[in-house]
Chains A and B, each alone.
With several copies, the nearest count.
Chain A
Amino acid sequence: MRLHVNGVVKRFGDNTVLDGVDLEVGAGEVVALVGENGAGKSTLTRVISGAYRPDGGGLAIDGDPVSFRHPDDAMAHGIQVIYQEFRQNLFPNLSVAENLFVREEGRRFGKTLVAKAKMAEETTKLLSGMGMHIDPRAKVGRLRVAEQQLVEIAKAMTHRLKLLILDEPTAALDGQESEELFRQVRRLRADGVAIVYITHRLDEVFALADRVVVLRDGIVALSGRTTELEAPGLVAAMVGRTVDNLFPKQGNGREEIALSVRGLGRAGVFTGIDFDVHAGEILGLGGVLGSGRGDVLRALFGLDRVDAGTVTAAGKPALARSPAAAIRAGIAYLTPDRQAEGLCVGRPVRENLTLAALAGYTGPLGFVRRRKEKQAVAELVEQLHVRAASTEVVVSTLSGGNQQKALFGKWLLTEPTVLLLEEPTRGVDVGAKAEIYRLMNELTARGVAIVLVSSDLPELVEMSDRVLVLRQGRIAAHLHGGEVTQEAVLHHALEAAS
């Protein structure tokens, strides 16, 4: 099949998000859709999937115009979408099998009564075909992020698949899992499926895509064959300026130790974690997903109880029993799951930004100092370039990347001495990434110590002064200066596997 998007216009109130977008994708072709946060990529996705109806323009399949009233119609044409916040599109309390076949219409599993056993079989077949081995009866909510991601893809494959749209599918995956995903994408392309692939990672664009379409401010800013394009040109088209240095790393490490961890252990997740972080230093934690990196951060932030070990911040004992305690000890934690744990998406941007630091904006009788708050928020939004209609709109109306910046901003206001970052640039566009990195530099320059967990290897390697590699909950390697390379991190992270 061949899908034509012709001059699609989509408005939210007076905010015109798509302003006449054209796009074309054919069978056995991968088109990369890139653009800044808020450019309108996900919105376009939802227009194609029938979740939104365009305010102008339209779609055509193999030449004849179609209009989708709701997702059903799009699916009828073999169009499947894996949305950006894909976990919002799974059923955590349903089994893997039920998730895959939730829409199974045919008589495939029995006329009136569903044969659950048969359904489970089919599921196992389908997943093992993708190199996945998980219990089809397991509840999806119990799976790891990556596994959920793959389930989502498998789900799409249960349908007659002609066009697959993936909206930042690797945002939550690490290198290894991304590779698995790429295999699947290539397989589908080989099977003649048309694919629209949305990402902020240029390496992926050049690795996967046949053509690239760049969205900026709701219009197509650039479009062409990947073979004819260069990374800098793409970036320029995306952000409207040239981003010279993506990783403007500064070494701001100081003598004094900001955070010191000794013998930290949590049964079944990690053990014997020792490390010091100096003020102004960025310490990277490497490892595959499930290695326990994240759990170390969660433990340090008082979210998970530890069974062993001591933590001292600025010389004082700082083994937090609750986030509140951690925050008091000057520790901040940026969760990788902004939707579920990070933001109150139904509340205004302002309230979200000051939520963790509200004590500082509270006057007598617990009244909030509105003026002081507004001022601080205004400055922050300015500093982070958060794209929002105003600081009073609810966060859910912000694009993924802008939500991420807002989340970052919330922690800046707490003026932490130790900043625990987990996937800080997940779903953030190159421009914003650069800003966030610059921000990290500013902070380290001010003496803030940063512990960085990231599945984005280049980021981890480029931004960290030192890297600890975790494997199965243990420190597998401690990389300094020159040793800090992607290869080294991967090697130590996967050694057990290989």
Chain B
Amino acid sequence: MNPRLRTVLTELRAVWMLLLVGIVLTVVSPVFLTSSNLLNVALATSVTALLASGQTFVIILGEIDLSVGAVLGFSAIITALVLRSQPTVVGLLVGLAIGAGCGLVNGLLVTRTRMPSFIATLATMSILGGLALQLSQGNPVAVTDYDFQNIGQARAAGVPVPVWLMIVVFVVSGLLLARTRFGRYVYATGDNGEAAKLSGIPVHRVKIWAFVLSGLLAALAGFIVTARLSTAEPTAGTGLELEAIAAVIIGGTSLAGGRGNLIGTIVGAFILGVVDNGMNLLNVSPFLQDVVKGGVILFAVLLDRNATAFRALFSRRRPPAPTAEPASPQDDLVRG
């Protein structure tokens, strides 16, 4: 069996989780396994998936980007405003530029001022969120540009454009992370920043690029949301950052940095998407949906932390000493 595939199946327990949820839903809901519904799921997941892809790079670096939701909303508003007077392509370019710019600022804050990314991006999140409201005066900004709307509403070969975008981003960034020198730098820097520096890796530049990528993808996700609604909403991205981070972690990427992959992230995003979809199909009480979702996240991560975790949970004895596996970042947020 192809070793790559084997790794995915053995190491990536998130896949099992996805299958599990999928099977359950297929059994209890006739609609779930219809192509149209699955396309819905993919469509609904695309935004989270884009945000999570960028977030994966940042998190493997041992950083975090809480601002993606705000960047999404901010660049969406600006794009919409630009589109009022400018051709589609200009709007797109400006939007992407804004996203990249926000990422650049985050990257500079984290590298040059050595702020913890958690607080730096928390601050930019608040700032960009406010600016989006200020620019739009709190009002949604309508987008009438037909070509732009197609980004969210058209289909190619029966598949919605956002899904195609998700696929492209997945493949490209997947290769970037797994197969290029930049990707190796990302892992190395996240695994041991000091060593990376001493090995001559341009640690700061690597981090800055990762944040820029995260910002770019947030802007792209903003296009999708805006195009689907034909409107840019200043608050469109609120809360999406946590969704994206959850997807990344469910996918097995470690917050301690140095380990993770993009396949896991996509799977994680789909787990969340499928659960949402399922709960709606089954008309689960809206109040309980958060409960279910939280439960699924817990369960998925437990599963990823492999069976021992379960035993540990119910057994007296503490889990195997971390020494057994080197730098096991599961232990805690920080030192692993």
Q: Given the complex, which residues of B lie within 8 Å of A113, measured CB to CB?
A: 175, 179-180
Q: Given the complex, which residues of B lie within 8 Å of A367, measured CB to CB?
A: 175, 179-181
Q: Contacts A113-B180, A356-B200 known; A92 to B191 CB distance under 8 Å? A: yes
The answer to whether A46 and B323 have CB atoms under 8 Å apart is: yes
Q: Given the complex, which residues of A lie within 8 Å of B324, measured CB to CB?
A: 12, 52
The answer to whether A397 and B326 have CB atoms under 8 Å apart is: yes
The answer to whether A344 and B321 have CB atoms under 8 Å apart is: no
A408 contacts chain B at the CB level, 8 A cutoff? no
Q: Contacts A91-B195, A94-B187, A98-B184 known; A346 to B329 CB distance under 8 Å? A: yes
B197 contacts chain A at the CB level, 8 A cutoff? yes
B164 contacts chain A at the CB level, 8 A cutoff? no
CA distance A83 to B202 in the complex (A): 19
CA distance A346 to B194 in the complex (A): 13
A446 to chain B, nearest CB (A): 21
B139 to chain A, nearest CB (A): 44
The answer to whether B180 and A112 have CB atoms under 8 Å apart is: yes
CA distance A103 to B259 in the complex (A): 18
A70 contacts chain B at the CB level, 8 A cutoff? yes
The answer to whether B321 and A303 have CB atoms under 8 Å apart is: yes
CA distance A113 to B202 in the complex (A): 20
CA distance A468 to B327 in the complex (A): 32
Most-contacted residue by chain A among B179, B182, B185, B199 (CB, 10 A): B199
The answer to whether B181 and A71 have CB atoms under 8 Å apart is: no
Q: Given the complex, which residues of B lie within 8 Å of A366, measured CB to CB?
A: 180-182
B196 contacts chain A at the CB level, 8 A cutoff? yes
CA distance A47 to B330 in the complex (A): 24
Q: Contacts A93-B258, A359-B181 known; A304 to B321 CB distance under 8 Å? A: yes
Interface residues of B in 170-213 (CB under 8 A from A): 175, 179-182, 184-185, 187-188, 191-192, 194-202
- CB contacts between A and B, total, < 8 Å: 172
CA distance A341 to B197 in the complex (A): 8
Most-contacted residue by chain A among B181, B200, B324 (CB, 10 A): B200
A202 contacts chain B at the CB level, 8 A cutoff? no
Q: Given the complex, which residues of B lie within 8 Å of A142, measured CB to CB?
A: 325-326
A2 contacts chain B at the CB level, 8 A cutoff? no
Cβ contacts A75-99/B at 8 Å (1 or 0 each): 1000001010000111111100010
Q: Given the complex, which residues of A lie within 8 Å of B188, measured CB to CB?
A: 91, 94, 98, 102, 344, 347, 351, 355
The answer to whether A362 and B200 have CB atoms under 8 Å apart is: no
The answer to whether A346 and B259 have CB atoms under 8 Å apart is: yes
Q: Contacts A93-B327, A98-B188, A356-B200 known; A344 to B179 CB distance under 8 Å? A: no
The answer to whether A346 and B326 have CB atoms under 8 Å apart is: yes
Give the contacting residue for B200; candidates A75, A90, A139, A344; CB below 8 A. Answer: A75
Q: Given the complex, which residues of B lie within 8 Å of A116, measured CB to CB?
A: 179
Most-contacted residue by chain A among B259, B321, B327 (CB, 10 A): B327
CA distance A116 to B187 in the complex (A): 15
A7 contacts chain B at the CB level, 8 A cutoff? no
The answer to whether A92 and B179 have CB atoms under 8 Å apart is: no
A229 contacts chain B at the CB level, 8 A cutoff? no
The answer to whether B198 and A103 have CB atoms under 8 Å apart is: no
The answer to whether A72 and B200 have CB atoms under 8 Å apart is: yes
Closest A residue to B176 using CB positions? A366
The answer to whether A368 and B200 have CB atoms under 8 Å apart is: no
Give the contacting residue for B181; candidates A114, A140, A323, A345; CB below 8 A. Answer: A114
Q: Given the complex, which residues of B lie within 8 Å of A75, measured CB to CB?
A: 200
Q: Given the complex, which residues of A lie within 8 Å of B199, measured CB to CB?
A: 71, 89, 102-103, 323, 355-356, 410
A338 to chain B, nearest CB (A): 9
B210 to chain A, nearest CB (A): 15
The answer to whether B175 and A326 have CB atoms under 8 Å apart is: no
A330 contacts chain B at the CB level, 8 A cutoff? no
The answer to whether A355 and B196 have CB atoms under 8 Å apart is: yes
A134 to chain B, nearest CB (A): 15
A185 contacts chain B at the CB level, 8 A cutoff? no
Cβ contacts A96-112/B at 8 Å (1 or 0 each): 00100011110000001
The answer to whether B191 and A93 have CB atoms under 8 Å apart is: yes
CA distance A137 to B326 in the complex (A): 15
Q: Given the complex, which residues of A lie within 8 Å of B192, measured CB to CB?
A: 88-92, 340, 343-346
B232 to chain A, nearest CB (A): 34
Give the contacting residue for B191; candidates A112, A327, A344, A362; CB below 8 A. Answer: A344
Q: Contacts A49-B198, A98-B187 known; A93 to B259 CB distance under 8 Å? A: yes
Most-contacted residue by chain A among B175, B188, B192, B196 (CB, 10 A): B192
CA distance A75 to B200 in the complex (A): 8
Interface residues of B in 38-80 (CB under 8 A from A): none
Q: Given the complex, which residues of B lie within 8 Å of A102, measured CB to CB?
A: 184-185, 188, 196, 199, 201
Q: List 11 A-B contacts (CB under 8 A).
A: A89-B192, A93-B258, A93-B327, A105-B181, A114-B181, A343-B195, A345-B326, A346-B327, A346-B329, A355-B184, A368-B181
Q: A90-B195, A367-B180 are in contact. List 10 more A-B contacts (CB 8 A).
A: A49-B198, A75-B200, A103-B201, A114-B181, A304-B321, A324-B200, A326-B200, A358-B181, A365-B180, A367-B179
Q: Considering the complex of A and B, which 6 residue pairs feature the smallest CB-CB distances, nearest first?
A: A141-B326, A396-B326, A344-B191, A346-B327, A324-B200, A72-B200
